[in-house]
Amino acid sequence: MNSFDVVIVGAGAAGLFCAGVAGQAGLSVLLLDHSTKVAEKIRISGGGRCNFTNRMLDASAPDKHFISQNPHFCRSALSRYTPQDFIDLVQKHGIAFHEKHKGQLFCDHSAEDIIRMLLAECDAGGVTRWAGCGVKSVQHHASTGADKQGHYTLSTDQGPVTTTSLVVATGGLSIPQIGASDWGYRIASQFGLRLVERRPGLVPLTFDGAAWAPYAQLAGLALPVGIETGEKKQRMHFEEDLLFTHRGLSGPAVLQISSYWQTGSPIRLNLAPDLDLPERLSDAKRRSRKLLGNELAQWVPSRLAEAWVSQRPELQRPASEVPDKALSQLAEALARWSLTPNGSEGYKKAEVTLGGVDTRDVSSQTMESKQPGLYFIGEVVDVTGWLGGYNFQWAWSSAYACAQALAQNRKQEVI
């Protein structure tokens, strides 16, 4: 029977990084994944260039960029392995990268650069990798005599494996077409750990077909907007780009707000966030004989202007002839367009999964659960970051915290 110090299930961002760090710390590590291709989520991220971290991450205030029933849970790991730490590793491997807006870092060439880097780190640590290897069952054997820690036996497609430390890095339910599964949640439940309800995050929102009909023709149109949802202390606001789709709305603005949106609640859009529309429209009425739609097209995309004007006959005339009340209502509608999604595109299009293994049952220092020797890292835990590299940083940081704890445990065993 194969035996390892550590078995890590899930060869995505968190699993690969944890394996490399633990292996280089001197532990014997088996990394296995049911998919034949590792790190598919890294491969498709950031338009194929992997938005691998974010310089703006503030580890001292994780609630700014992370969603969790306990957003402060991730502070310890994020403060011990920072974006700069990962940047240093990227630079050590000679990977060229660039910064886009709001601190987002992308590979210049390809996400494959990050995958090759992580595999090289695993190789440097002598990590054993089994790709295309599923885990049929996991059993825990309590400590007895010489076996002070207890151990786990995994029944895998390549035979039984034993280990004292099992790390679950299987991610969430997002993008099932590249291998996402609920395996990590099932293992958590098997050992009595609590789960926070899961739902799609960073996902496009959809609208009722009839209500959306006037805007379906705008599919493919993008523009900068202000977007918000919630009320009072629960209100969230973002300034990002919006993308119209045939079924609803997407783009960074909607992906961000989707993680905070609650079913049945409206979202509010400012389609011209940098303009004083009432003043612009009043000025157009004083000086212009052009159709109002043509005037409006100076400030918002022409297709969007046409979609709004075409819905109201009193707006389909020269700007100078449009009633003041109609102009005022148009300005208000464009600045505070309130609409209620009927749902989202679901896990098929979601970039992350909200919820997961309850942080109350996991150590923020070591990522070990209340079940001895069982660890959870990355997306499978109830920690979800904003769009823009935050989720990858959580993967790196939680993996590093776990690997350091595993190495420390090994030292104590030897002593």
Mean pLDDT along residues 284-299:
93
Question: What was the pLDDT predicted at 149?
Answer: 75
Cβ–Cβ under 8 Å, residues 403 and 15: no
Question: What was the pLDDT predicted at 150?
Answer: 87
pLDDT band at 147 (very low <50, low <70, confident <90, very high): low
- Same structural domain for residues 82 and 6? yes
Dihedral Cα 116, 119, 120, 125, nearest 10 deg: 170
Mean pLDDT along residues 104-118:
98
Question: What was the pLDDT predicted at 253?
Answer: 98
Q: Please check the confidence at residue 109 and state whether its pLDDT lies above 80.
A: yes
Hey, what amino acid is at 160?
A: P
Q: Please check the confidence at residue 106 and state whether its pLDDT lies above 90.
A: yes
Provide φ and ψ at 382, rounded to 5°. Answer: -75, 65
- Same structural domain for residues 13 and 139? yes
Mean pLDDT along residues 272-284:
92
Residues with Cβ within 8 Å of 133's Cβ and at least 6 positions away in sequence, in order, are: 32, 33, 34, 156, 157, 158
Strand partners, 141: 151
- In the block, tokens 């390549």 appear at 158
Q: How far apart are CA 376 and CA 150, in angstroms?
A: 18
Element (H, E) at 361: none
Question: What was the pLDDT predicted at 113?
Answer: 98
What are the pLDDT digits (tens) for 202-232?
999 999 988 899 999 999 999 999 999 999 8
- Same structural domain for residues 89 and 126? yes
Which CATH number belongs to the domain containing residue 336 in this structure? 2.40.30.10
Q: Please check the confidence at residue 415 and state whether its pLDDT lies above 60.
A: no
Question: What was the pLDDT predicted at 12?
Answer: 97
- Same structural domain for residues 72 and 188? yes
What are the pLDDT digits (tens) for 157-180?
999 999 999 999 999 999 999 999
- Same structural domain for residues 257 and 176? no
Q: How far apart are CA 375 and CA 19, in angstroms?
A: 13
Cβ–Cβ under 8 Å, residues 72 and 64: no
Q: Please check the confidence at residue 314 and state whether its pLDDT lies above 60.
A: yes
- Same structural domain for residues 38 and 156? yes
pLDDT band at 1 (very low <50, low <70, confident <90, very high): confident
Residue ending a domain, among 303, 318, 344, is 344
Which domain, by its residues, includes 325? 205-344
Mean pLDDT along residues 98-123:
97
What are the pLDDT digits (tens) for 246-274?
999 999 999 999 999 999 999 999 999 98
- Same structural domain for residues 254 and 160? no
Helix/strand/coil percentages in the chain, nearest 5: 40, 25, 35
Burial level of 14, CB count in 10 A (0-12/13-18/19+)? Answer: buried
Hey, what amino acid is at 337?
A: W
Q: How far apart are CA 219 and CA 198, in angstroms?
A: 29
- In the block, tokens 């400012």 appear at 270
Specify the DSSP class assigned to residue 191: T
What are the pLDDT digits (tens) for 293-307?
999 999 999 999 999
Q: Please check the confidence at residue 111 and state whether its pLDDT lies above 90.
A: yes
Mean pLDDT along residues 370-375:
97
- Same structural domain for residues 252 and 142? no
What is the chain's mean pLDDT, rounded? 95
Q: Count of domains in the chain?
A: 2
Q: Please check the confidence at residue 414 and state whether its pLDDT lies above 80.
A: no
Cα 126 versus chain centre, distance: 30
- Same structural domain for residues 137 and 105? yes
Q: How far apart are CA 50 and CA 100, in angstroms?
A: 12
Cβ–Cβ under 8 Å, residues 43 and 112: yes
- Nearest of 20, 13, 14, 15 to residue 40 by alpha carbon: 13
Higher pLDDT, 123 or 142: 123
**Percent of the chain whose predicted confidence (pLDDT) is above 70:** 99
- Same structural domain for residues 170 and 248? no
Q: Please check the confidence at residue 43 and state whether its pLDDT lies above 80.
A: yes
- Same structural domain for residues 340 and 374? no
Q: How many CB atoms lie within 10 A of CB 30?
A: 24
- Same structural domain for residues 224 and 286? yes
Residues with Cβ within 8 Å of 86's Cβ and at least 6 positions away in sequence, in order, are: 52, 53, 393, 396
Largest CA-CA distance found in the chain, in angstroms, rounded: 93
Q: Please check the confidence at residue 9 and state whether its pLDDT lies above 60.
A: yes
Residue ending a domain, among 344, 365, 394, is 344
- In terms of pTM, does the model score above 0.85? yes
Which CATH number belongs to the domain containing residue 160 in this structure? 3.50.50.60
Mean pLDDT along residues 52-77:
96
Hey, what amino acid is at 193?
A: L
Residue ending a domain, among 290, 314, 344, is 344
Q: Please check the confidence at residue 143 and state whether its pLDDT lies above 90.
A: no
- In the block, tokens 């974006």 appear at 83
Token code pair at residue 415? 């002593």
Q: How far apart are CA 180 and CA 40, in angstroms?
A: 10
pLDDT band at 83 (very low <50, low <70, confident <90, very high): very high
Sign of CA dihedral 389, 390, 394, 400: positive
